[in-house]
Structure 1
Amino acid sequence: MNDLVIMKDQQAVTSSLQVAETFNKNHRDILRAIDDLEKDVRNFAQMFSITDLPDTYGRKRRAFYMNRDGFTLLAMGFTGKKALKFKTQYIEAFNNMENELKQGYSTKNVGGYQVPDDYRGALLLAADLQEQVDTMKPKASYYDQLIANKSLMVTTAIAKDYGMSAKEFNKVLHKLKVQYKLGGQWFLYSKYHNRGWTSSATRIVDGTPRITTKWTQKGRVGLYRLLKKHDIVPMIEKLDIRTVVIGGQR
């Protein structure tokens, strides 16, 4: 199964004929499935383009080229172990072709910087740079929020930023030797006790004094840095860590 994915108009694509051959399906059934997608998918034209391709007898037949997103939509209905194997091969082929496209543009030196000398290369470079900028933004944004908010904050609110419950978050901090539990209350270990990370107040509940502890701005920044050292980051940063599942890198 060579040439599962080819380059057409500076884009990695495959054809409906190739998909039919790879998955051992009738091409007419593939075309019918694509026609159904055209009715339901708003941005169909961005993923599929109609064409004429020769069949095994050399006759020109209606067919489609599709990019990664188009193939992903089409292949959603293909099930079974063999289908999964072929899907994996297609994803790998798309990845390889897109990597070749990214690495394939030539550059020239301008003012000490290497810049693309063709339109395609410029677009690819711009996309790469934008991805880097987008990746950096949320990280700076969360830290900026910490710096901007000087008010005290309860553990539940901070835990929510990390996608955890207060109970889960407290367990994480206990595991990292930040705090320990005594008499139903959490207290900082001596290493962090005098850093100004928390502010405590005593209130009476049903005639019983209870200690309420909140995190200061300094404490929240300290937690952020400590947790990050252990690869524990807020949800806002996780959202921009691109994990390739089936759509691949954008």
Structure 2
Amino acid sequence: MNQLISTSNNVSGEIVVSGRELHEFLEVKTPYTQWFERMISYGFVENVDFTVTNKNVNDVTAFGGVRKIIDHALKLDMAKEIGMIQRTDKGKQARQYFLQLERMWNSPEMVIKRAMDFQQEKILQLETKIHKEKKYTDFGKVVSLSNGAINVGAFAKIMYDKHGVNIGRNKLMAWLRDSGYLIKQGRERNFPKQHYVERGWFKLAPTIIKRTEGDVQSGTTLVTGKGQIGLAEILLEEFIKLEA
């Protein structure tokens, strides 16, 4: 079948037509925006019969030589009705074309093809999800075999040994502070923030520092098993972005 007017598919997989292309095919003399306002006065509803889209067109007078204009993605039912409304040979031709498209779309062969395409897309999504989560699952096994909460230096070593994320203790400490997990300043610098302690990502192990003027109690930040898994996911995504 010859393609009189180009079509595409919306997010729901339905056939849609560019309002501007239909306007051009119908050879309507009224400017597009005025014409389309008149068309929707027939009872067409946004996000039901059509959606508003943007389209870039070449324009030497515009900044960068490109101008953005408003277009509309029309469902076939709306496009058919608009063809009927025109009462012209072009309108009749457009309507017949859309009817033929609809018959092809609803044919048993196309219904089966769409079902197979949908199933294939689901399989690809599942495979991607499994591949993405595998590294976190493997990391979870490592954590479950560890002695629970570990210090930041030990966590940095695991990230390097198991995932190739080259981040040492000091760099990881700075990242944890900058990312809002640890306190930045004051006597409690490098202590975990209470929110993440309550979330189960960190523990604070009491430490006694011996001084001539008297012992001082401090603390060492430890990353729990839950925190290791959560932070590993975030660090891996950050590491991938830096490599891309």
- Answer yes or no: same fold by TM over 0.5: no
- Which has more helix, going by share of residues? 2
Q: Which has the larger radius of gyration?
A: 2
Normalised to the residue count of structure 1, the TM-score between the two structures is: 0.36
Higher RCO, 1 vs 2 (CA within 8 Å, ≥6 residues apart) = 1
